[in-house]
Amino acid sequence: MSVPFVDSMCWIDIPSFPVDYLVYSCYSSSSSSSSPPSLTVLPPFFDGGRTDPSDKYFQPYRRQHQRIMFNHNMGILCHGDNGEFTVGDITYRYDQEVDLCLLHHPPPAGTPPKWSVNRLQIPPEMKIDLYSWKTDLVVPIGRSLCWVDYYQGILLIDVVADSQGSPIQQQLHYVRLPSQALKSRRLYIDPGAPDPFRRVCVTDAGIIKLVCILTKYPPPDDEFTIITWTLVDINQGSWRKDVDTIVGADEFFGLCKAAKSCLPRVRPSFPVVSLVDPDVICFLLKEKGRNLSWMVEVNMRNKVLQSSAIYINEEEEEGPPSEKDRRNTFFGHSFIPTKFSSYLAEDAITSRKLSETMQKDKKERMMQKDKEERAMQKLKRKPKPKE
């Protein structure tokens, strides 16, 4: 989580102002004790930022140029039994090199927390095209942080080795995507927006899955195929296509119809694999004409629609905002697999009942509105009496 300004809509030269990075820990435990939730503020990092002689008059932050670290290039890895974590950031260079910035928490005894920078050389045999590389996602796997390009592969770096004094250059590993996935080109989307048709997920058991919604361009709503691969050997970089879980457009819409749901017939997007069951994937169904969004959970192996939920806007839950309040706009691509809800056990049942009630009310309003619109269409089509 980064907090650059009070007004997030104000475009200012960000490196010239303080950017606070914070890590929220829901719960940390050890064999002997447990601690409540905590919020850790990471120290600022100026190595690599543009220097200015006048900075000394504006300590500690103002007009100092921090090193630019974009959110989509940053990842966090939790390890150990006492709330330890490592934050990593990568800056790509154009001479087959990357700058890896790391911060370990807690720091070694007797030293303040600080960032470190390691320049890593990408071996030619990895065949990584840094000129066209785009980090779509950063995920933790084991001791590594993994930078994922949905159209090239996965770059794994053992970030724990750095805290133990090991040569981190030896901990660099690359996994290319399956050959079929490499045949598709990246679709044009707005800069900074995530890819709606691909996702790499890691289950709670450590299974790495690649989900691709293969479609034509421009992507039609009724022509697509959902294919998943499982990384069976991370060292050899070998993938296995899950042939029993392939689902085409007709079959996908058939699942929705079989469940007797009122889901829109639109192309699914932003897939997320379940942490518990690697055969279960959540998709977003976005009906643009009515500004409605649904989350559906599909068992790809059993070919069953397990559940569906309509998105409830903030205004529907909390009422109209005041003039000073700012509402978050829902774009439909902010879902992540997480155990966060397991830490909310005290109010989980109440929250779920409230959600189910609000969804039921919204569905009834939708059905009533559809009924009224159909009635209006019938009146328009009714022939006028002859005079």
Query: Do 229 and 242 form a contact (C-beta atoms < 8 A)?
Result: yes
DSSP 8-state symbol, 150: T
Mean pLDDT of 62-89: 83
- Give residue limits of the domains in the chain: 1-176, 191-344
385 torsion bin: left (phi>0), alpha (psi -120 to 50), beta (else)? beta
Share of the chain above pLDDT 70, in %: 68
Query: Do 246 and 234 form a contact (C-beta atoms < 8 A)?
Result: no
Q: Nearest to residue 367, comparing CAs of 308, 290, 315, 295?
A: 290
- pLDDT tens column, 163-187: 665 555 557 899 999 999 998 888 7
Query: Do 305 and 258 form a contact (C-beta atoms < 8 A)?
Result: yes
Angle at 129 between CA 193 and CA 226, to 5 degrees: 50
Residue 32 has pLDDT above 60, yes or no: no
Q: What is the pLDDT of residue 302?
A: 95
Q: What is the pLDDT of residue 18?
A: 65
Predicted TM-score (pTM) of this structure:
0.79
- pLDDT tens column, 313-352: 655 555 565 555 555 566 666 677 776 666 655 555 565 6
Query: Do 335 and 295 form a contact (C-beta atoms < 8 A)?
Result: yes
Query: Do 265 and 222 form a contact (C-beta atoms < 8 A)?
Result: yes
